[in-house]
Amino acid sequence: MLDVARTAQVSVATVSALINGTTRVSPALTQRIEAAISAIGYERNAIARSLKLGATNTIGLMVSDIRNPFFTDIVATIQYALNRVGYAVMVCSSDENTELQDMQIKLLLDRAVDGLIIAPAGEDVMLKDFLASVRRPMVIVDRTCEGLDVDTVTLDNRKAVLDATSYLIGLGHRRIGYIAGPLITSTGRDRLAGYRDALAAAEVPYVDELVQDGDSREAGGYRAAMQLLTQRDRPSAIFSANNLMTIGAMRAIRDAGLSCPDDISVACFDDFPWADVFRPHLTTIAQPVQAIGEYAANLLLDRLSGKADEAPRRLVIQGRLIVRESCRALARP
Amino acid sequence: MLDVARTAQVSVATVSALINGTTRVSPALTQRIEAAISAIGYERNAIARSLKLGATNTIGLMVSDIRNPFFTDIVATIQYALNRVGYAVMVCSSDENTELQDMQIKLLLDRAVDGLIIAPAGEDVMLKDFLASVRRPMVIVDRTCEGLDVDTVTLDNRKAVLDATSYLIGLGHRRIGYIAGPLITSTGRDRLAGYRDALAAAEVPYVDELVQDGDSREAGGYRAAMQLLTQRDRPSAIFSANNLMTIGAMRAIRDAGLSCPDDISVACFDDFPWADVFRPHLTTIAQPVQAIGEYAANLLLDRLSGKADEAPRRLVIQGRLIVRESCRALARP
DNA sequence: TTGTACGCGTTATCAC
DNA sequence: GTGATAACGCGTACAA
């Protein structure tokens, strides 16, 4: 910029004024400066600018598993919403690994991001303390982080699973297997709570062995389903608490030589972008993913534009049970 | 840092030396400085550091559609590979839109990324000229950009489709529909060329109406397949040139009341992470996605570490035809 | 081993 | 409308 100023025989202040439009610059100088800029091939140094301005116009986004279609969609939506208003997005995926997660957040913070959107992999003590010490605008999405007073966008997981389980019960099912996500996540806990709520409401006894941990990945879902399917008194229905585990569960059902919904009913959490390639079409709880992403982006944008000390806002979105063809009514004995 | 120095009664140089480990600092001062750091809650200003060092340790990654599982995987792999060595990744998705693409790349460049990895949405003239003017390390992945002399990682698309089409021909198919990706992309062109190669090699005439544009998205694949299926002399097989289009095509086949592979054989490009939820299991060309991502990351890392003026390297990876159950041999009339 | 002083490229403030 | 200059916070010669 100094070079430009020299070439155009003006001061750097004038060049800066022109570039940023802060002040009117006379046509004569404007022309000289623009000529100098293209002659030299000058490009504004964004780092110096950020140093001066104290903002990078960049936000950090950390999800627990970017390959999970749900999070892919979240990332895409947020990235798009933020780009539109001039923010760049730095993305990390913790792969459901709490240690990696801490490292990645540090990496993000170390890049001086203006704000953070986080879908926590789980609540190790570290994370909570750590995030609490971060003084930058932040919103937590999908899963909450107990005791952390920041903006959040979450689904009403408990209610959603209550609905789905009640639907299964309404169909006559009593032994309903449940493939659970990690209980270190709020989603894992809330969804399980919804399952128990439904059982309690219908006075169906809760059976420990019907709840199997699926660790939120496909392989875990497979194992959990197998566990369920090989019990002497096999459940007549299974609820799977997220999309990837469902894929594993469906595979297990096939491998066990069973057929859904003829031998066993399946309902699950999370709809798929390509739901109809699945056979049978799955009855699921759909999350309004795009809306969730937009809300998260907007909450952060609000914080970024000054609303620093308002009380945290906690948005809770309702899921929607989509009945398709993977559940069958149980003939009463 | 100045505050830390004052609190610890030392100079900023000493603090800096301790933090970066450039010089040995006496134990006494070390202790005082560390105490001061945690007392004040000091955090190094990454922007000032970048300004001084001239590097952000951040790279920009632009893909044409982050929701496409292929690119999701690319993003995840690259992000992981680069994070491991201390780089953060700024992600953009152009949504197969060349205008958006230009904007996003500008956004990335404006954040002073140290390097760029790009999967181009298409080659508008803009892009080529624009990228040529970028003086930062760069690697192009998946699709090439004609006339741009930079490192690239691509699949041998032509050969892969040649193999798949030849396989179909070997099964006795003569009327083979082809659902094409955009011809403004190198992948679109190369894959189509492979199809023609196979026909030519087997002396099967090329028929214009058997090639339908699917624009690389699901909806386009559906339309293209429908077009093919409603022709008076319906093709006995279809090759679909990417994953999303395949999903659309399978849907079209169902909607047309046809069954695969009984009524029509299907082979396609790109394997799916969850290939076995598809019915029937699809015969596809699998790309070694992770390897592609790793290669791209490594090429960039090489450039970043000084190999600035070596000749561009062009890695070409071989695809692999995975025969499953979506293709059937045609009974000779 | 430690301290001083300068430069990185901008932008904002104030004089002119 | 324009120009001089002081920060922004860090790394690093160079001097002590």
Question: Searching chain B, which residue's CA lies closest to the CA of residue A133?
Answer: B41
Residues 40-59 of B with CB under 7 A from strand C: 48, 51-52
A328: pLDDT strictly greater than 70:
yes
Q: Are A155 and A142 in contact (CB under 8 A)?
A: yes
Confidence of residue A88 (pLDDT cuts 50, 70, 90): very high
Question: Could you tell me which of B22, B21, B16 has the C-alpha nearest to residue B1?
Answer: B16
C-alpha count within 13 angstroms, C-beta hemisphere, residue A258: 24
CB nearest B72 (choices: A72, A86, A109):
A72
A125: pLDDT strictly greater than 80:
no
CB nearest B46 (choices: A103, A111, A251):
A111
Confidence of residue A261 (pLDDT cuts 50, 70, 90): very high
Handedness of CA B118, B119, B121, B125 (dihedral sign): positive
**Sheet order of strands, B237-240 included:** B211-213, B176-180, B237-240, B265-269, B283-286, B320-322
A173 and A268, same domain (yes or no): yes
CB nearest B93 (choices: A76, A107, A111):
A76
> What are the C-alpha distances in Å from B322 to residues A40, B74, B163, B175, B272?
54, 20, 11, 22, 12
Enumerate residues 42 to 61 of chain B having a beta carbon within 8 A of any beta carbon in chain A: 43-48, 50-51, 56-58
A162 and A283, same domain (yes or no): yes
Q: Are B174 and B236 in contact (CB under 8 A)?
A: yes
> How many beta carbons lie within 10 A of that of residue B205, not counting itself?
9
Contact B92 A88 (CB under 8 A): yes
- Which of B90, B116, B136, B251 is most worth mutating to test chain A (most A CB atoms within 10 A of its CB)? B90
Check residue A312 and report its DSSP letter. Answer: P
Measured at the CA of A172, the angle between CA A166 and CA A178, to 5 degrees, comes to 55
A161 and A283, same domain (yes or no): yes
d(CA B72, CA B77): 9
| Residue B130 contacts A, CB cutoff 8 Å | no
Residue A326 resides in a domain: no
Question: What pLDDT is recorded for position B308?
Answer: 67
Domain count, chain A: 3
B128 and B191, same domain (yes or no): no
B79 and B18, same domain (yes or no): no
Q: Which helix (H) or strand (E) holds A260?
A: none
Question: What pLDDT is recorded for position A78?
Answer: 98
The boundaries of the domain holding residue A40 are 2-44
Residue B273 resides in a domain: yes
Contact A79 B67 (CB under 8 A): no
How many CB pairs below 8 A link A and B?
114
Enumerate residues 312 to 331 of chain A having a beta carbon within 8 A of any beta carbon in chain B: none
Return contacts of B204-207, CB within 8 angstroms, 24+ apart.
B204/B169, B204/B174, B204/B176, B207/B175
d(CA B329, CA B333): 12
Q: What is the pTM of this model?
A: 0.94
C-alpha count within 13 angstroms, C-beta hemisphere, residue A148: 28
Residue A293 resides in a domain: yes
d(CA B56, CA A270): 38
What's the CATH code of the domain at A217?
A: 3.40.50.2300
Q: Which helix (H) or strand (E) holds B91?
A: strand B88-93
Residue B92 resides in a domain: yes
Residue A322 resides in a domain: no
B170 and B136, same domain (yes or no): no
d(CA B276, CA A67): 17
Q: Looking at beta carbons, which residues of chain B come within 8 Å of A79? A: 66, 91-93
Question: Could you tell me which of B117, B194, B116 has the C-alpha nearest to residue B155?
Answer: B194
A240 and A255, same domain (yes or no): yes
Residue A97 resides in a domain: yes
> How many beta carbons lie within 10 A of that of residue B254, not counting itself?
13
A308: pLDDT strictly greater than 70:
no
Confidence of residue A322 (pLDDT cuts 50, 70, 90): very high
> How far A97 CA sits from the closest chain B CA (Å)?
13
B165 and B275, same domain (yes or no): yes
> How many beta carbons lie within 10 A of that of residue B259, not counting itself?
11
Residue B74 resides in a domain: yes
Q: Which helix (H) or strand (E) holds A323?
A: none
Task: Give the torsion through C-alpha atoms of B76, B109, B67, B57, to 10 deg.
Answer: 10
CB neighbours of A16 closer than 8 A, spacing ≥ 6? A1, A22
Cα B31 off chain centre by: 48
Contact B75 A89 (CB under 8 A): no
B242 and B252, same domain (yes or no): yes
Mean pLDDT of chain A: 94
Bases in strand D with any atom closer than 7 Å to a protein CB: 1-5, 7-14
Per-residue pLDDT tens listing for chain B (333 residues): 888 998 999 988 999 999 988 888 888 899 999 999 999 889 899 999 999 999 999 999 999 999 999 999 999 999 999 999 999 999 999 998 888 998 999 999 999 999 999 999 887 777 888 888 888 999 999 999 888 889 999 999 999 999 999 999 999 999 999 999 999 999 999 999 999 999 999 999 999 999 999 999 999 999 999 999 999 999 999 999 999 999 999 999 999 999 999 999 999 999 988 887 788 999 999 999 999 999 999 999 999 987 767 899 999 999 999 999 999 998 765
Confidence of residue A123 (pLDDT cuts 50, 70, 90): confident
Please give the residue that has the higher pLDDT: either A162 or B273: A162
A293 and A282, same domain (yes or no): no
B36 and B115, same domain (yes or no): no
Confidence of residue A333 (pLDDT cuts 50, 70, 90): low
A37 and A61, same domain (yes or no): no
> What are the C-alpha distances in Å from A222 to residues A199, A229, A285?
24, 10, 20
Question: What pLDDT is recorded for position B332?
Answer: 63
> What are the C-alpha distances in Å from A170 to residues A166, A195, A204?
6, 14, 12
Residue A238 resides in a domain: yes
d(CA B209, CA A63): 45
Q: Which helix (H) or strand (E) holds B131?
A: helix B125-133
Alpha helices in chain A (DSSP H): 2-8, 12-20, 27-40, 46-53, 69-84, 98-110, 125-133, 157-170, 186-201, 218-229, 243-255, 289-304
